[in-house]
Amino acid sequence: FASRSMASFSHEPGFCPQCGTILPMLGSEGDVRCYNCKQTFGPEVFSGLECHYVIHFNSPNVYGGSKQKADSADGCVVERMCPNCKNDKMSYATLQLRSADEGQTVFYTCTKCKYVHSLCHFTD
């Protein structure tokens, strides 16, 4: 492998002008040392390097700002009468709110009026 001089080797910004290896990021102070050939270079090896980026902001309704349809469900839907409006469909979700040796708490949500009630299931 013949050694190439800086004048004879065409390189892209951010790559070692001596061996062509990608260079580590430039710190806030000091020079850059190539991992491969151990040559040290000043910040000019990054001249001409351009970085472009785009920041995408979420729309306002991403976090629940949009209105939900009255029939939308917040989980699995079961046939269960709502104690508030007597609708026959409710969605449910479960959570372990107590210690592991006790049952889960089931939260039912009416698909029509969004009334929520819970049941605690205890084990013996």
Domain covering 77-120 in this structure, CATH number: 2.20.25.10
Q: How many CB atoms lie within 10 A of CB 56?
A: 5
Please indicate if the annotation marks 76 as binding a ligand. no
- According to the annotation, is 51 in a ligand binding site? no
CB atoms < 10 A from the CB of 14, how many? 17
Q: Sketch the domain layout of the chain as residue ranges.
A: 11-57, 77-120
Please give the chain's pLDDT, 124 residues, in tens. 444 444 445 667 888 888 888 888 877 788 889 999 999 998 888 888 777 878 877 666 655 544 444 445 667 889 999 999 999 999 988 888 777 777 788 889 999 999 998 887 665 5
Distance CA 89, CA 91 (A): 7
Q: Is 120 annotated as a binding residue?
A: no
